[in-house]
Amino acid sequence: MFLSGNRSRHLDFVPYPFLAGTCETDVIRSTTRHQRAPRPPARAVPTLGQLLHQPYWLWLHCDACRHRVAVALVPFVIRWGANASSDMLRTHVRCAVCGRRGASLQHPSWGDAESGWEVFPVA
């Protein structure tokens, strides 16, 4: 006859073969990870000049508080030049709501052939 206290003591013990199996799986996984093909090179970050096309403005999204603001691109091209990386814009802006530095860039939406690009929001 088993006592419940005795049984629970046995369940706390993990037999060696289970540990060995886990270790072999980990070795196989880690080996497989190293045999994957190398990642393709990261895409080049566009310059401000490359982003300067219709409709000539972008949404800046704060990744912290989701606040967004529409900005014209031309003032940034004038300030930093057309050959400046768009990362200048991503890293140098500051959110007016939460104060966090940095933003994501999003091109305005294309409606359709009749409506065209999303209209620059006028406050």
Residues of this chain that bind Zn ion (CB under 5 A) = 62, 64-65, 67, 95, 97-98, 100
Residue written as tokens 């093909």? 37
Q: Least CB distance from residue 96 to Zn ion, whole Å?
A: 8
Q: Least CB distance from residue 93 to Zn ion, whole Å?
A: 10
Which ranges in 61-114 belong to alpha helices (H)? 74-80, 87-92
Comparing CB distances to Zn ion, the nearer of 9 and 94 is 94
DSSP code, position 73: S
For the chain, the C-alpha Rg in angstroms (whole number) is 28
Backbone dihedral angles phi then psi of residue 78, each to the nearest 5 degrees = -65, -40
Q: Least CB distance from residue 100 to Zn ion, whole Å?
A: 5
Comparing CB distances to Zn ion, the nearer of 9 and 66 is 66
